[in-house]
Structure 1
Amino acid sequence: MATTLAAAGCDDGDDKGAAGGTQTLEKVTYLTSFGTFGRDSFAYVAKEKGFFRDAGFDVEIKPGNGSGDNVKAIVGGQAQFVPIDLTGGLLAAGGSGGAPKITGFTAVAAIQQRTMAAIMSLDGYGIATPKDLEGKTIADTPGSVVRNLFPTYAKLASVDASKVKFENGTAQTLFGTLAQHKVDAIGQFVVGKPTIEGIAKKTAVLLPYSDYLQDLYGNVLITSSQYAKDNPEKVRKFTAALLKGLQASITNPEEAGTILKKYVPTANPQSAAAELTLMGPFVRSEAAGVPVGALDSQRVARSIAILQGSGQIPAGLTPEQVITFDLVPNA
């Protein structure tokens, strides 16, 4: 599979080679999960600290725009590695809503052990419980897992989904749209709380999907099925480098926020650190002995059953169709 040859923006030479510049690095493109918020700082940390370089990669990091677009980028060859919400991947692979099933991608590691998907509103907007969403307008990106999973969440939370309106937004505009009260709520991850509160100067109201969907994983790292088949050791090395950056970020979120600011001048390092602090418990599983990055096939099967039970995907999808367990850390 051909990899992107463009050099990374804001590259300070971190990935150019090992000592003496003798190592030939493979150039790959990595998309963040959603914009350039603190929750995605770990990729920049892996780059800044040389983890990617040491693994043999020169990584160009670009902002992603949610699970739907990120899956398309992998399948279309615009990127080699991206994080997506695993539930979004299951919906895509299962043919949610009668849409054509999307193949050609595979997950190789977990980023978060629990879903961070949520509906976010602000104090004073009239939303305190899931039922309050009826008659309200939510902005989100078209391919967002929050949006795609909403029918299942609504069913379990006793919300009439037909009474909730969605309108399109982008990763860059959602916070501003909510802060200006152009909509009543947005699709967002729970770790976005400090960022929206800093922008809107109001208290955020969160309706986490995990209140009703406790088996669901959060983001997972995916690559193309063909790349994984042809380059299993490269996938393992890239995954290990990224997870090393993830562990460093949640261990020292202030440092990660500073590194993000270096690569993304518009970033707020304090908000980034706050997001990473909130994300820490989602990365470190509460179950003893589960390593960072691990994925459990039985738990994924339960997630598939939830989606099938709510009518979002038809029967037939298996965990192995979406995850290459041989490449998952400590599998």
Structure 2
Amino acid sequence: MGMTRRAVLGGSAALAAGALTAGCDSGSGAKSDGSKQKVSYLTSFGALGREGYAYVALAKGYFDQAGLDVTIKPGTGTGNNLKLIAAGKVDFSPCDFTGTLIQISKEKLPVTAVAAIHERSMSAIMALAGDGIADPKDLEGRTVADGAGSTNQTMFPVYAKLAGIDPKKVKWVNFPPPQLASVLAAKKVDAIGQFVVGQPLVEQAAKGKKAVVLPYSTYLRDLYSNTVFTSEKLAKEKPDLVKKFTGALLKGLEYSVTHPDEAAQIFVKYQPTQNVKESAAELRLMAPYVKSAGGAPYGALDDKRVARSIAILQGAGAIAPGLTPEKVASFSLAP
């Protein structure tokens, strides 16, 4: 199943190792054995079932067929992943597009989007059924937990404005992301920030109690979610490498959402601390967010949608004027 190929194994231990050593394996197209080009890749965050498509691309030989020697390590979230890309310490990572727009607006990082993983935002607020939260208005006066600096928290004022609620009436508290489901199940908070694909994990922690999911995409329809980013330098100097990598990765993505049970089994061979059933459930939930409307290929980026996303965030005061689609995405490299 390709266990000798280059993936870093082990859940939380690998996450810590990835954060510490991600800068050591950046290939940026360097030859590894005279025939294959080395490439380093960070998952969006950790090693959860929703990230399984990269491991599927590895196990199915899609990277090999593209002439790539790919090392996969668990990422630590959009903010950190982007900084590693900008510094040239890692080649590719899927980062939340909205969170990236906000960060680029503040820090002017030299990164660029080259393919979409999720064609719609997967950000959401989750509560448990019977706890009094059924729609966005019910969040007022409540406490919501998420990781410090999370995309869900960063985007919430924009979501709240469009949903017709006062974001100042919602209290946010910070917990490490791995603790969020258990914190909600223990009723230490009223709700948590979570990607929609986290529903099986939340319900498992709550011992089968149903989750109430309030997706941001109900109101923020134009926003992409995770999008593959690379450095401006790599995109400019090695466009063929970028296309080879994203092509292979997207083959893994398409296979994973089409064959979620097999994909989950492959993923758990690389990450044995994870659960096959929950990983498959995440991939099933992810499928509608991956597929493009109108028959566009997997990974497509639309400059008009990016422009609308920028306009939404500028209108909400989340980013300053001046950002343009061409400053955040390389459309010529996208599918």
Contact kept, 8 Å, 1:66 with 1:143, in 2: the verdict is no
Residue range with higher mean Cα deviation, 293-302 or 85-94: 85-94
Which residue among 60, 77, 81 is the counterpart of 1:70? 81
Over 3 Å counting, the alpha-carbon distance change for 1:78 and 1:136 in structure 2 is farther
Aligned CA RMSD, in angstroms, stands at 1.9
Q: For residues 104 and 143 of structure 2, what CA distance do their matches in structure 1 show?
A: 28
Can you list the C-alpha shifts for 1:177-199, whole angstroms capped at 9, x where unaligned? 22222222211111111221122
Q: For residues 67 and 189 of structure 2, what CA distance do their matches in structure 1 show?
A: 45
2:92 aligns with 81
Q: How many residues align?
A: 309
Task: Give the unaligned 5+ runs of structure 1.
Answer: 1-6, 12-20, 96-100
- Aligned residue type for 1:57: L
Q: For residues 260 and 248 of structure 2, what CA distance do their matches in structure 1 show?
A: 17
Contact kept, 8 Å, 1:33 with 1:64, in 2: the verdict is yes
Can you list the C-alpha shifts for 1:263-293, whole angstroms capped at 9, x where unaligned? 11111111111111111111112x2231111
Which residue among 324, 327, 332 is the counterpart of 1:318? 324
Contact kept, 8 Å, 2:7 with 2:270, in 1: the verdict is no
Q: What are the equivalent positions in structure 2 for 1:219-258 lying under 5 Å apart?
A: 219-258=226-265
Task: Give the unaligned 5+ runs of structure 2.
Answer: 1-5, 11-31
1:24 aligns with 35
2:278 aligns with 271
Q: For residues 178 and 68 of structure 2, what CA distance do their matches in structure 1 show?
A: 28
Contact kept, 8 Å, 1:65 with 1:171, in 2: the verdict is no
C-alpha displacement of 1:260: 1.2
Contact kept, 8 Å, 1:117 with 1:187, in 2: the verdict is yes
Q: For residues 213 and 103 of structure 1, what CA distance do their matches in structure 2 show?
A: 24
Q: For residues 127 and 295 of structure 1, what CA distance do their matches in structure 2 show?
A: 35
C-alpha displacement of 1:44: 0.7
Q: For residues 133 and 89 of structure 2, what CA distance do their matches in structure 1 show?
A: 39
Can you list the C-alpha shifts for 1:304-331, whole angstroms capped at 9, x where unaligned? 11111111112111011000111111xx
Q: For residues 52 and 172 of structure 1, what CA distance do their matches in structure 2 show?
A: 30
Can you list the C-alpha shifts for 1:46-83, whole angstroms capped at 9, x where unaligned? 11111112222222222223222221221233321100
Report sequence identity in percent.
Answer: 56
Over 3 Å counting, the alpha-carbon distance change for 1:151 and 1:186 in structure 2 is same
Contact kept, 8 Å, 2:83 with 2:109, in 1: the verdict is no
1:187 paired with 2:193, answer: yes
C-alpha displacement of 1:23: 5.5
Please, what TM-score do these two structures have when normalized by structure 1?
Answer: 0.88
C-alpha displacement of 1:115: 0.9
1:9 aligns with 8
The 3-state SS of whatever aligns with 2:54 is: helix
C-alpha displacement of 1:110: 0.6
The 3-state SS of whatever aligns with 1:65 is: coil
1:60 paired with 2:71, answer: yes
C-alpha displacement of 1:25: 2.8
Over 3 Å counting, the alpha-carbon distance change for 1:75 and 1:22 in structure 2 is closer
Please, what TM-score do these two structures have when normalized by structure 2?
Answer: 0.87
1:138 aligns with 144
Contact kept, 8 Å, 1:35 with 1:171, in 2: the verdict is no
Moved over 3 A (4+): 21-24
Higher helix residue share: 2
Q: What are the equivalent positions in structure 2 for 1:40-59 lying under 5 Å apart?
A: 40-59=51-70
The 3-state SS of whatever aligns with 2:304 is: helix
Q: For residues 63 and 178 of structure 2, what CA distance do their matches in structure 1 show?
A: 27
1:178 paired with 2:184, answer: yes
2:166 aligns with 160
Q: For residues 132 and 166 of structure 2, what CA distance do their matches in structure 1 show?
A: 17
1:91 aligns with 102
